[in-house]
Amino acid sequence: MMRWWIVLGAVNAFLSVSAGAFGAHALKSRLPQDLQVIFETGARYHMYHALGLVAVGLLGYLRPSPLLNGAGWAMLVGIFLFSGSLYALALSGVRVLGAITPIGGLGFLAGWLLLAVAAWRATS
């Protein structure tokens, strides 16, 4: 499974760079400034957590742990809900989609906490 976290991290990093480029070039003249900022925030957090998935996979090769799988799933769900809702909000202008974003943020927080606990236990 650890190899899959690295692969998913790399794929999500690719998607994040693609989204960032799309936002910076294709959407620059089409979206109002406030929606561009929202889109960019989605892409930035997408990248952070893509790198987090790579970290999950790499630590898992050193010290496999069910906590790491939990961290990976939490980050992946966070990417989908946090970044996905921001992308959808920016592209559609439907502001109610912003209500989903904090749920994704909780996924991010859970993922980093699980990664920290797994890393702590791996060194103990």
Region of 8 (left: φ > 0; alpha: ψ -120 to 50; beta: rest) is: alpha
Alpha-carbon span 62 to 52, nearest angstrom: 16
Alpha-carbon span 112 to 70, nearest angstrom: 10
Region of 93 (left: φ > 0; alpha: ψ -120 to 50; beta: rest) is: left
Which pLDDT does position 77 carry in this prediction? Answer: 98
- Number of domains making up the chain: 1
Range of the domain at 15: 1-123
- 124 residues of the chain, pLDDT tens digit each: 789 999 999 999 999 999 999 999 999 999 999 999 999 999 999 999 999 999 999 999 999 999 999 999 999 999 999 999 999 999 999 999 999 999 999 999 999 999 999 999 987 6
- Asked if residue 122 lies in contact with residue 65, where contact means CB atoms within 8 angstroms, the answer is yes
